[in-house]
Structure 1
């Protein structure tokens, strides 16, 4: 199993510009022959409080990303805004090698005006059982309960986190580590740029690999499910 985590630069409100960046970074990742390519939270539209206009692109985004997955035979994990009746979910999808939507997660840890999710789902791949949560969900007590109940082999966490300091500190990474230890699952985290960064933790919360800024992090066979 090989995973490419891409801390992608996102331009809010510029879908075509972000789409071009998405494809550029995706093609860079393909050079590493990954099985999974993982992008950050709402990476193709960005989000500014409380502009939900990016949700109108939900169908088109899925169509475009599904085509990339199908053409290249890879799994793609990414975040997007999902319209639902009179509100919007902050969601993330796993697209399969054949371009099908295999898994959807709706973020729990969101403020008012968003719809909020209430469960964690899993799906099976040839590498084991996979789940997705989003950014602040990592610190949500209900999420921990669901993840421990579902017992995935791998957890993907698309993130859009920019601390007040403007950079990810060792304390931020330690906080991630402590939460992963509580979940008890190998976890792959990727943040949008700036400030960017990507991290891989084992099921005990030990940091196995990381990258800074926009650099792609490739996690290789050492993380294969036993």
Structure 2
């Protein structure tokens, strides 16, 4: 399984600019012959100050990404705003090689005005079971229980994290490492640029690969799927 993590530059409320950036980075990533491409949290619209207008683009975004995935026979993971009745979820999708939506995660760790998720699901691939959580979910106690219960073979975490320092520091990476160890799963994290960055941790929290800024990380991972316990 070859995973490519893409810290993408995102402009708030500028869908077409973000779409062009997405396509360009997607094309760059294909040079590494990946199986799975992973983009950050709400990477097509950004989000600021309770402006949920980007949610109306949900269907258009899913259609465009599904078409790209199918044309290139790859899995794609990305974040987007999802409208639902009278509110909006901060969601992330896994699109399969055939362009179908295989998995949706709705973020737990959100403040007021968002709808919030209440579970973690997994999807089966030829590499084993995949799960997705989003940014602050990584530090949520309920999420930790769900992830350990579901026992995925690998976990993907799209982020949009901008620390007060303006850059990712060793303490931030240490906290990610501790959570990967707690969750007992190989973890792939990618952040929006600025400040960007991408990280891969094994189930013991060891840092296996990383990048800074908007540099791509491509990681070859040997997955031995766990046996389900009934």
After TM superposition, is the score higher than 0.5?
yes
| Aligned equivalent of 2:91 | 91
| Aligned equivalent of 1:35 | 35
Provide Cα deviations, 1:28-87, integer angstroms capped at 9, x if missing partner. 000000000000000000000110000000000000000000000000000000000110
- Aligned with residue 224 of structure 1, among 215, 222, 225: 222
CA deviation after TM superposition for structure 1 residue 21, in Å? 0.1
Alignment of 1:173 with 2:173, yes or no, is: yes
| Aligned equivalent of 2:7 | 7
| Aligned equivalent of 1:210 | 210
Structure-2 separation of matches of 1:131 and 1:175:
20
Please give the residue correspondences for 1:1-226 in structure 2 after superposition, counting only pairs within 5 Å.
Answer: 1-220=1-220, 223-226=221-224
Structure-2 separation of matches of 1:49 and 1:113:
11
SS at match of 1:79: strand
Q: How does the TM-score come out when normalised to structure 1?
A: 0.99
Structure-2 separation of matches of 1:5 and 1:178:
20
Structure-2 separation of matches of 1:55 and 1:169:
32
Report the number of matched residues: 224
Structure-1 separation of matches of 2:27 and 2:123:
26
Structure-1 separation of matches of 2:2 and 2:222:
8
Structure-1 separation of matches of 2:219 and 2:39:
14
Structure-2 separation of matches of 1:173 and 1:99:
33
Stretches (4+) displaced over 2 A = none
Could you tell me which runs of 5 or more consecutive residues in structure 1 were left unpaired when the two chains were aligned. Answer: none
Q: How does the TM-score come out when normalised to structure 2?
A: 0.97
Structure-2 separation of matches of 1:180 and 1:32:
25
Structure-1 separation of matches of 2:174 and 2:90:
25
Structure-2 separation of matches of 1:196 and 1:20:
18
Structure-2 separation of matches of 1:33 and 1:125:
17
Provide Cα deviations, 1:113-145, integer angstroms capped at 9, x if missing partner. 000000000010000100000000000000000
Q: What's the Cα RMSD here?
A: 0.4
